[in-house]
Amino acid sequence: MPPQTLRVLYSAFRMAMLHWFADPQWVIPNVIAPFVFTFVALTLFKEASGSFGLYAVLGGGMMGMWGNTLYASGFAIDFERWQGTLEEVVAAPSNLLHVISGRSVSNALFGLTNMVAILLIAALAFRIPLGIANPILFALSIVLTLLSVSALGLIFASSFVLTRSAQVLTNGLEFPIYVISGSMFPIALLPFWVHPAAYILGPTWGIDAIRLATSPQYASQSFWAGTDVNVAIALNLAMTLLITLAYVAIAAFLFKKVETKSRREGTLVQA
Amino acid sequence: MLELNSQNKPESSSKAIVAEHLCKVFNVTKGFLRRTRTRIIAVKDVSFEVDYGELFGLVGPNGAGKTTTIKMLTTMLIPTSGNATVLGYNVQKDITRVREKIGIVLGGERGLYTRVSAIDNLRYFADLYGVPPTIRDKRVKELLQFMGLWERARDRVETYSKGMKQRLHLARGLINDPQLIFLDEPTIGLDPEIAKDTRSMIRDLVRKGKTILLTTHYMFEADELCKRIAVIRGGEIVALDTPSGLKKYVMDTSVVEIEGFGITDKEVAKFREIPEVLAVSADLSENKQVLKIQTPKGSEIISEVQEILKNSRIYDLKTKEPTLEDAYLRLVEGSIK
C-alpha cells in the first residue's frame, strides 16, 4: 500500500478517535445496548446447557462491533455533511474511500471495546467459563472479523454520498445481518433459504473462527464440522479475508460511481 | 515568517484559469407517484480567463451562479457542457492534479471540525493533501502564526469567534501551499472589522504571488481587492472589466440617495415604474432606511420622490455621482444590456 494511502487511513482513523473522545455521549448507547442485550440473554438462559453462554457473550460483542461500524460508517458521511466538511474532504486529492475506511476501522475498534467489556462482565458477574483455547488464533480471528465488518460498513457508507435517506437502509439492516451472520445462534437454526445470505457475509466466517478458537467443543456446530479445529479456523479466516477483499473492491467501485454521480447531479451537500 | 511558494510559475498554460462556455444544468425531480422533472439552468455559457498572480472577482446576487462556477472549476461539479483548465489541467480529466494544486475556502462558520483543535484540523487536511510529513507541522505552525491563531491553536475550534474561524478557514485553504486559491464569499456574515482583517490577509496573499478567484456580493469589496471583475446574473456573465471600466456603465446617470423611515416596499415599487429610473436599491431593514435611485434626470426627479414618499419621513436627500455598486446594481437588475 502506498505510504500516502497509509497516512490518509491513519489520519482519518485518528480524527475519528479524537471525535469519539471529544464526545463520549456517542459511546453510551453503543456500549449500553449490547451490554443489556447480553445481560438479558444470560439471565433468561442461565440454566440452559451447552454453549449458550458462549453464544450470548460473543453475540453481544459482535452486536456492539457491527452496530458501531454500520451506524458510524454510514454516519461518517452525514457527520461530514453536518460539520460542512464533506465538500472540503471530497475536494482534497485523497480518495474518499481511504478517508472513510480509516474512520470505519476506528469505529469498529470502538465496537470491540464492547466485546471486551461483555467478556469481563460475563466472566465476573455470571461466571461463564470463557477460557480461550487458542488466544493467538482468537486475536487473529477478532482482527479479521473487525476488518470484515468495517469493509461491509464501507459498502453501506457509499450510499450516504448520494442521499442522507441511506440511514433508513442501515437502520433496517442492523438486526437482519446480526441474525443472519449467526452472531447469537447457529445459522443451522435459520431457514435454509437464509443460508446463502449468511455465506456471503464475511463476519459469518469470522464468528465461526472466533468460536472455534474460544472453545473446541463448538467444533461439532461449525461449518467445518469433522475437520481439524486449527484447519477449520484457517479455512474460516481465509473465507473472511477473501470476502473482505471482495467487499473492499465493491466499495471502491461504488464510491467511484456515487462520487461521479454526486458531482454530476450536485447532490454532495444537499442530498 | 510564512514561507509559502511565492513564485507562481505557470505549469503548462499561460493562464491560471481558462473557462470556455461552461454550462451547468440540474434536473430536479419531485413527487413519488406523479414525478415531475424541472430543469434548472444554474450556469449558462460562462467564459473568462484569469492571469497568474491576478485577484479576479466574480460578483453577483444570491443564486446567480457564482458558487456553481467555482465548484465546476474546483472539480466539485461536472459541467454539463463546456471546458475549463486550471493551472493548465483539465478539470474533468486531471481531477487529482487540479485538487493537489488549488486551495478552496468556502465562506461561513461551517467547514471545520469544531470538536477538535485548530492544529488537529490543519494536520488532518495536510495529510489529505499529501503535505510531506517533514514539513507538515512546520507549515501548520507558520500558518497559525500568520493568521494570528497560534496562541489558541490547541483550543477546540468551537470556542473560537467567527473571525477566528474564518482565519482558520483561510489557513486550511493554504495548507497545501496552493498556486491558486478559490475564495467563496470569505467575508459573508463577518462584522466589519473582521471582514477588513480578512481583506487585508487576501491582499497579503496576492503580494506573495498567489492567484485568487474571489466571489462576493459586496461590490465595495470587489472594488477594493480585484484587478478585474466579472458580473454574473442568472447564470450568465453580463460584464467583465476592471473596476473603473465597470463604473463607465453608469457614467450617464446620477444617484438620488434618500435616508428616511417608514418607506414601504409598495413605494419602492412605484419608483421602479418611473420610465427614467434605471435601477433602485433599497435597504428597508434598519431604522434608518436607505433608498438609492439611478436616473439620468438627476435632481429633476426630486419632486416625484417627495410625492411618492409623502407618507414617509425623509431625513436626508442628496444627488451623488454613481459608484461601482451602482454599476453592479444596474447590471444585475438587467437595465444594461
Say whether B113 and A19 touch across the interface (CB within 8 A): yes
pLDDT recorded at residue A271 = 41
Helix residue ranges, H only, B210-318: 219-225, 243-247, 265-273, 302-308
Cell, residue B41: 439552468
Q: Is B273 exposed, middle or buried (0-12, 13-18, 19+ CB in 10 A)?
A: exposed
Q: Which of B220, B247, B274 is the last residue of a domain?
A: B247
Query: What is the DSSP pairing of strand B228-233 with strand B236-241?
Result: antiparallel
User: Higher pLDDT residue, B106 or A200?
Assistant: A200
Residues B280 and B220 in one domain: no
Q: Which of B247, B269, B284 is the last residue of a domain?
A: B247
Residues B229 and B280 in one domain: no
Interchain CB contacts (distance < 8 Å): A and B: 87
> Where is average pLDDT lowest: A31-45, A219-233, B29-43, B44-58?
A31-45
pLDDT recorded at residue B292 = 87
- Which residues of chain A are within 8 Å of residue B119 when distances are taken between CB atoms? none
Residues B294 and B236 in one domain: no
- Name A157's Cβ contacts closer than 8 Å, sequence gap at least 6: A73, A74, A76, A77, A100, A104, A251
For residue A58, which amino acid is it?
L
Examine the predicted complex and report whether its ipTM is higher than 0.85.
no
pLDDT recorded at residue A135 = 87
pLDDT recorded at residue B10 = 46
Report which listed range, A37-41, A215-219, B53-57, is most confident. Answer: B53-57
- Mean pLDDT in runs of 10 for chain B (337 residues)? 49 84 88 80 94 94 90 94 94 94 83 93 96 93 91 94 88 93 85 83 90 89 91 92 86 85 86 84 77 83 84 85 83 64
Residues B63 and B206 in one domain: yes
Please name the member of B26, B114, B127 whose beta carbon is closest to the beta carbon of A11.
Answer: B127
B329 within domain boundaries: no
Q: Are A97 and A154 in contact (CB under 8 A)?
A: yes
B192 within domain boundaries: yes
- Which residues of chain A are within 8 Å of residue B168 when distances are taken between CB atoms? none
C-alpha dihedral (A139, A143, A148, A154), degrees to nearest 10: 150
pLDDT recorded at residue B334 = 62
Report which listed range, A3-12, A194-203, B268-277, is most confident. Answer: A3-12
Q: How far apart are CA B229 and CA B245, in angstroms?
A: 9
* A102-158 pLDDT, tens digit each: 988 887 777 777 777 777 777 777 777 777 788 899 889 988 988 888 888 888 887
Q: How far apart are CA B169 and CA B229, in angstroms?
A: 24
User: Higher pLDDT residue, B107 or A87?
Assistant: A87
Say whether B76 and A88 touch across the interface (CB within 8 A): no
Residues B283 and B140 in one domain: no
Please determine, for residue A250, whether its predicted confidence score (pLDDT) is greater than 80. yes
pLDDT recorded at residue A26 = 62
* A74-86 pLDDT, tens digit each: 677 777 887 888 8
Cell, residue A39: 445481560
Closest Cα of chain A to B256: distance in Å?
42
Which of B228, B243, B257 is closest to B327 using CA atoms? B243
For residue A232, which amino acid is it?
A
pLDDT recorded at residue B7 = 45
As a whole number, the mean pLDDT across chain A is 81
B310 within domain boundaries: yes
Q: Name the residue range of residue B285's domain.
A: 252-321
According to DSSP, the residues that pair with B24 across neighbouring strands are B43
pLDDT recorded at residue A269 = 63
Residues B83 and B189 in one domain: yes
Q: How many domains does chain B have?
A: 2
Cα B230 to chain centroid, rounded: 10
> Where is average pLDDT lowest: A54-63, A93-102, B145-154?
A54-63
B327 within domain boundaries: no
Residues B27 and B85 in one domain: yes
> What number is the average pLDDT over the span A175-190?
77
- The domains of chain A are located at 3-265
Residue found by looking up cell 438479558 in the block: A40
- Which residues of chain A are within 8 Å of residue B133 when distances are taken between CB atoms? 7
Closest Cα of chain A to B80: distance in Å?
8
B334 within domain boundaries: no
Please name the member of B116, B125, B130 whose beta carbon is closest to the beta carbon of A18.
Answer: B116
- Name A5's Cβ contacts closer than 8 Å, sequence gap at least 6: A95, A98
- Which residues of chain B are within 8 Å of residue A88 when distances are taken between CB atoms? 104, 106, 111, 125, 172
B336 within domain boundaries: no
pLDDT recorded at residue A270 = 56
Q: Would you give the DSSP letter of residue A31?
A: H
Residues B40 and B188 in one domain: yes
Residues B29 and B171 in one domain: yes
Chain B contact present for A91, CB below 8 A: yes
Residues B225 and B269 in one domain: no
| CATH number for the domain that contains residue B32 | 3.40.50.300
Please determine, for residue A50, whether its predicted confidence score (pLDDT) is greater than 80. no
- The residue of A25, A85, A268 whose CB has the most chain B CBs within 10 angstroms, and thus the best one to mutate to test that interface, is A85
Chain A contact present for B111, CB below 8 A: yes
Confidence of residue A49 (pLDDT cuts 50, 70, 90): low
According to DSSP, the residues that pair with B40 across neighbouring strands are B26
Q: How far apart are CA A169 and CA A177, in angstroms?
A: 12
- Which residues of chain A are within 8 Å of residue B178 when distances are taken between CB atoms? none
Residues B142 and B202 in one domain: yes
Please name the member of B96, B111, B127 whose beta carbon is closest to the beta carbon of A85.
Answer: B111
User: Higher pLDDT residue, A29 or B270?
Assistant: B270
Q: Is A127 exposed, middle or buried (0-12, 13-18, 19+ CB in 10 A)?
A: exposed
- The residue of B25, B113, B122 whose CB has the most chain A CBs within 10 angstroms, and thus the best one to mutate to test that interface, is B113
Closest Cα of chain B to A181: distance in Å?
35
**Helix or strand holding residue A57 (H, E):** helix A52-83
- The residue of A88, A94, A165, A264 whose CB has the most chain B CBs within 10 angstroms, and thus the best one to mutate to test that interface, is A88
Which 174-193 residues of chain A touch chain B by CB within 8 A? Answer: none
pLDDT recorded at residue B46 = 94
Say whether B129 and A93 touch across the interface (CB within 8 A): yes
- A249: phi then psi, degrees, rounded to nearest 5: -65, -45
Say whether A84 and B104 touch across the interface (CB within 8 A): no
Which 20-49 residues of chain A touch chain B by CB within 8 A? Answer: 22-23
pLDDT recorded at residue B182 = 95
| CATH number for the domain that contains residue B256 | 3.30.70.260
- Name B78's Cβ contacts closer than 8 Å, sequence gap at least 6: A260, A263, A264, B72, B92
- Which residues of chain B are within 8 Å of residue A102 when distances are taken between CB atoms? none
- Which residues of chain A are within 8 Å of residue B81 when distances are taken between CB atoms? none
Please name the member of B123, B128, B156 whose beta carbon is closest to the beta carbon of A99.
Answer: B128
B328 within domain boundaries: no
Q: Are B263 and B282 in contact (CB under 8 A)?
A: yes
Residues B268 and B239 in one domain: no
B282 within domain boundaries: yes
